[in-house]
Amino acid sequence: MKFKLDKIEGCVSELPLVSVVIPCRNEEKHIGMCLDSLLANDYPRDRIEFLVVDGMSEDGTRAIVADYLRKNSSLRLVDNEKKSIPAAVNLGVKHARGEIVTKIDGHSTYAPDYFTKCVRYLREFDADNVGGVLKIRPGQNTAMAEAIALALGHRFGSGNAYVKVGCKEPRWADAVSFGCFKRQVFDTVGLWNEELAGSPDMDFNQRLKRMGGKILLVPEIVTEYHADADLGALWRHNFADGVWATYVMKFGSRAFSWRHWVPMMFVLAMALGLSLSVSEPRLRFLFPAMVVGYAMANLAASAQVALREKNVRYLFFLPLVFATRHFSHGIGAVWGLILVLLPGRHWKGRRSARA
């Protein structure tokens, strides 16, 4: 798919007003960098507003934001007493004055031309949602954190999630990094589903596409995202993502793609192979063969990354990272499926079970 993009023409007063919604909670380590990158953008300052929708942070986030508020009239703070991300987005949309609304992440940083490019592509190609790709950065300056960032950006770790593995040219997609929307989209599709503490973006994009909306992924629109820094954090994050890959069905949502269920099928296949190897003497070879097959694929992907990065140490870290990502997400999805079948609602938030 070949796209040609021209510059936005016309005087500044003709440019659309852009409202930037920034959900956050307990982001004292990243919110300052995020706001610095946003305030350094090249979109005309009188045609853009920033709404920090804070989930009643308990660390130093609010104090940091208050300092920025005193210095920047384009910045506003909105309290999100429900504390969840979809509730924050909905509050932001309701408070937004712009004809274009962008939802971003307080954990990331943005290029100076981020909003200019989003608006250009949105108008040029009559898209309903435009976004870019994630440039995944290590959460810490360690070999393990570097390996986690590299694994998330590899097809063996993220499948055909082009928003993570990247693409060479703009393409119509099912997901983008965060999203820049025409305001009228919300009148047609509605707001974010606040029952979905996980996968609310995917749910909204699925509803948008079912109603004929167009989502454009643009590789030159780049967001830097800081990944989990250790295997424990990676396991918890991916387990919760796995739960929501299936648990969304409890709410009648179809916020999933085939790639979200592949880890679950892998885990179930491994469990079945183990069961058959134990119960059926003629199939004793099955589970060991599956383990060897997975190990070879894992090592091949790890070796490819190590060679590309010209760093042999990744050959030792990446197999652990890939396995952690696959098994945690797969086990989480199995657990989410069990919760779908049980009466009542047993999971809230991204990473905590309901008591």
pLDDT for residue 325:
97
What is the arithmetic mean of pLDDT over 47-62? 95
Question: Is 117's pLDDT higher than 90?
Answer: yes
pLDDT for residue 349:
61
How would residue 291 be classed by pLDDT, with cut points 50, 70 and 90? Answer: very high
Considering the chain, what percentage of its residues have pLDDT values greater than 90?
75
What is the arithmetic mean of pLDDT over 170-190? 91
d(CA 43, CA 20): 12
Domains of the chain (ranges; CATH) run: 18-110 (3.90.550.10), 250-344 (no CATH)
d(CA 78, CA 88): 9
pLDDT for residue 337:
93
pLDDT tens readout for residues 231-280: 999 999 999 999 999 999 998 888 877 888 999 999 999 999 999 999 99
d(CA 181, CA 101): 5
What is the DSSP code (8-state) at residue 250? Answer: G
Question: Is 353's pLDDT higher than 70?
Answer: no
How would residue 285 be classed by pLDDT, with cut points 50, 70 and 90? Answer: very high
pLDDT for residue 217:
94
pLDDT tens readout for residues 79-102: 999 998 999 999 999 999 999 999
Structure tokens at 229: 């820094």
Q: Quick check: 80 and 91 in contact, CB under 8 A?
A: yes
Tell me the torsion sign for CA atoms 225, 229, 231, 235: negative
* Position with higher pLDDT, 343 vs 292: 292
Question: Is 6's pLDDT higher than 50?
Answer: no
DSSP result, 51-108: EEEE---SSSHHHHHHHHHHH-TTEEEEE-TT--HHHHHHHHHHH---SEEEE--TTE
How would residue 350 be classed by pLDDT, with cut points 50, 70 and 90? Answer: low
How would residue 13 be classed by pLDDT, with cut points 50, 70 and 90? Answer: low
